[in-house]
Amino acid sequence: MYLAAPKSDHRGAVLVLHSWWGLNSFFHRLCDRFAAKGFVALAPDLYDGRVAGTVAEAKKLRAKVTASRREPAYKYLIRMIGELRRETRADDIGVVGFSMGGHWAYWLAQRSDLPIVATVTFYAARSGDYSVSRSSFLAHFAETDEWVSPSSVRKLERTLLKAGLTFECHTYPRTGHWFFEEDRADAFEPKAAALAWKRTIDFLKQNMS
């Protein structure tokens, strides 16, 4: 895992869930950025130190998350939430997930026994039962995305609103999957990423204060 903490008192605790590339340097820097904004950020490593550089490598690593871990991924993530709470003594936390990590963020947010009050996802949607969720939701989507269909986004929105939950959704013009991740040179869009970052920080401040 990677942990970053502000130099002064923190304003909240955030669990950062990496995309299928793994816990690479981008996600280390992202945790540092959260710390600079006053949040303690903990990023679990679902790949046990391995990272992918290509889609083929990422698919292989993603498959091993459920196939070869000695500790089931869901138990590991719940344990990491406990670590984050012990580190910060926070009653409630936020979760920020990217693509594969976004799927896990939605899964975690469905559980009423977890102290998640704010969930932010990038290019991810997941159906499920959110009727007992305690979280508010902010979702960032790309305008053109081969991995996330418009129908899945609409279904997610209907499900969350039917459950009476707050759902803020933004689609960024002229972007594709991975647009927020600066190390994906073929997809990174600086202006969209900057706006998504501002919205994320504002959302966390609003829902975790």
Tens digit of pLDDT per residue, the chain (209 long)?
899 999 887 779 999 999 999 999 999 999 999 999 999 999 999 998 899 988 899 888 888 775 446 778 889 999 999 999 988 888 899 999 999 999 999 999 999 999 999 999 999 999 999 999 999 999 999 999 999 999 999 999 999 999 999 999 999 999 999 999 999 989 999 999 999 999 999 999 999 86
Phi, psi of 155 (to 5 degrees): -65, -40
Integer-rounded Cα radius of gyration of the chain: 16
pLDDT of residue 156: 95
Structure tokens at 49: 């130190």
Burial class (CB in 10 A: 0-12, 13-18, 19+), 92: middle
Query: Model pTM?
Result: 0.94
Nearest to 118 by CA among 66, 47, 46, 166: 166
Domain containing residue 175: CATH number? 3.40.50.1820
Indicate the residue type of 115.
P
Nearest to 96 by CA among 187, 13, 184: 13
Residue range of the domain that includes 50: 2-208
Please report, to the nearest 10 degrees, the dihedral formed by the alpha carbons of residues 132, 42, 8, 206 taken in order: -30
pLDDT of residue 69: 60
Contact 24, 183 (CB under 8 A): yes
Contact 41, 4 (CB under 8 A): yes
Q: Which residues contact 129 (CB under 8 A, 6 or more apart)?
A: 110
Contact 110, 116 (CB under 8 A): no
Rounded Cα distance between 136 and 66, Å, is 28
Total count of domains within the chain: 1
Structure tokens at 89: 């003594």
Contact 181, 19 (CB under 8 A): yes
pLDDT of residue 119: 98
Total residue length of the chain = 209
Specify which residues 119 forms β-bridges with.
95, 137
Burial class (CB in 10 A: 0-12, 13-18, 19+), 111: middle
